[in-house]
Amino acid sequence: MTKTVPLSRNRNYTILWTSQALAEVGFSATSFAFPLLALVITGSPAVAGAIMAVESLAQVLVGLPAGALVDRWDRRRVMVWCEAAQVLSLGSLVAALVWDAVTVPHMIVVAAVMGVCRALFEPAEDATLPNLVPESQLATAVGLNAARTALGDAGGKAIGGVLYGVSRTLPFLLDMITHLVGFVALLFLRVPRREPVERADPPHLGREIGEGLRWVWQRKEIRVTTLCAAVLNMFFAGFYLVVLVLAEGKGVPAGEMGFMAAMLGVGGVAGSLLAPWLCEKLSPYLSIVGVFWGVSLLTPLTLLFDNGYLIGVLFGLMALLAPTANTTITTHQLLVTPDELRGRLGSVLTLVVGAAFGLGSLLGGQLSSALPPAEAVLACTAGIALVTLLVTLNPTLRHYPR
């Protein structure tokens, strides 16, 4: 009987996890500094916002084709070239900052490169993961990847704020260096060779995208969990914006509002570390439904507090169980999806959930404008409660496979 090697001694997984932990820190530092730089360069909040929207727009537009290409190409090479492209684009921005020659078109190009690279890298990494770790450790690996993202986001933004206060160039220099480290590290990554898929017809991008969409739609449990997650994310994104407006109206200091935002990351990190253990103890149904009930019960409590620290604790509790549901769902999806479709699976899920966040932000803005803050919070809470009821009664989720 072959003894399973712990993930900490899995050479390839360690290379991937460590390199991307650093890259997440750099990316988050840039995410913090880029809007501030855009505002300084343009002097217009509207133009700065448009520049920042380019990255998300590029990721959405390229998402579905990127997933199909990831399934067609060598995934390790996709990740390596994405790191190289980000090093070059960030290096050009660092050079322009040093020479005081930054322009709006240059920033747009850098934002677009970052969006395209994330659209390619994320499904490539997700699709590669089951080939690096055994099935028995996949849930743990998924949970650790989620913790990596949450830690990188919280730490990177904090570091980015400090570095930007010293020099506008430093956050982008840090991002360039971390991606350079990631590029070098991934050169040593060894991924098992994929068996070529025989096709009767020549490659066709549109047909391959359609195959990915049909796979997600035909697998009932994937379709249901994707739609439920999208709706919950939409209402929660709107709720988060409305709570910020409510807190500002109550005179909550900026420092306390920063703590509120940070606690979402803290809850995500703690939940990611607990996720593999909870996935073993809870049924998939309870793992998924528990998130919806937790958020439903906690969201109206934000109306009771004028203290940003207490609201932050609620935010942390709301984020605590989400990684368990994500780990349960993601592990199952990766195991049941054929290797040749995993890139397209990741791109479809990213597109749907990303679009839901965008719609949620628009919803929160509209509710904040049309209703008093307290009523807007209750409207979002009602939406979340309705989704929770539907999820609880859904027969597909009740019989979700372990």
The string of pLDDT tens digits covering residues 349-375 is 878 877 787 777 778 777 877 888 788
Q: Indicate the SS3 state at residue 321.
A: coil
Report how far apart the first and last C-alpha atoms of the chain are (Å, whole number).
24
For 161, phi and psi rounded to 5 degrees?
-65, -40
Helix pair 11-42, 170-186: axis angle to 10 deg: 150
The residues, any chain, with a CB within 8 Å of residue 61's CB and separated by 6 or more, are none
Max Cα-Cα span within the chain: 66
Q: Provide the phi-psi class of 285: left if phi over 0, else alpha when psi is between -120 and 50, else beta.
A: alpha
Look up residue 339 and give its amino acid.
D
Note the pLDDT of residue 1: 41
CA 193 vs CA 8, 306, 331, 340, 344: distances in Å: 23, 57, 21, 12, 19
**Residue 25: closest CA among 156, 174, 163:** 156
Q: Provide the phi-psi class of 211: left if phi over 0, else alpha when psi is between -120 and 50, else beta.
A: alpha
| Residue intervals in the chain for CATH 1.20.1250.20 | 9-135+157-189, 208-398
SS3 content of the chain, % helix, strand, coil (to 5): 85, 0, 15
Note the pLDDT of residue 200: 57
Residue 143's H or E segment, with its range, is helix 135-166
Predicted model pTM: 0.80
Q: How far apart are CA 302 and CA 295, in angstroms?
A: 11
Q: Indicate the SS3 state at residue 99.
A: coil
Note the pLDDT of residue 201: 64
Q: Indicate the SS3 state at residue 1.
A: coil
* Structure letter (DSSP) for residue 176: H
Q: How far apart are CA 36 and CA 56, in angstroms?
A: 17
173-186 burial string, b = 16+ CB within 10 Å, else e?
A: bbbbbbbbbbbebb
Are the CB atoms for 129 and 142 separated by under 8 Å? yes
CA 284 vs CA 130, 208, 280, 391, 392: distances in Å: 20, 31, 9, 13, 12
The residues, any chain, with a CB within 8 Å of residue 178's CB and separated by 6 or more, are 22, 23, 25, 26, 27
Note the pLDDT of residue 96: 94
Q: How far apart are CA 402 and CA 279, in angstroms?
A: 9
Query: Which residues does the chain have with pLDDT short of 50?
Result: 1-2
Q: Provide the phi-psi class of 43: left if phi over 0, else alpha when psi is between -120 and 50, else beta.
A: left
**Which CATH code fits 208-398?**
1.20.1250.20
Q: Is CATH 1.20.1250.20 the right assignment for the domain spanning 9-135+157-189? A: yes
Q: Indicate the SS3 state at residue 272.
A: helix
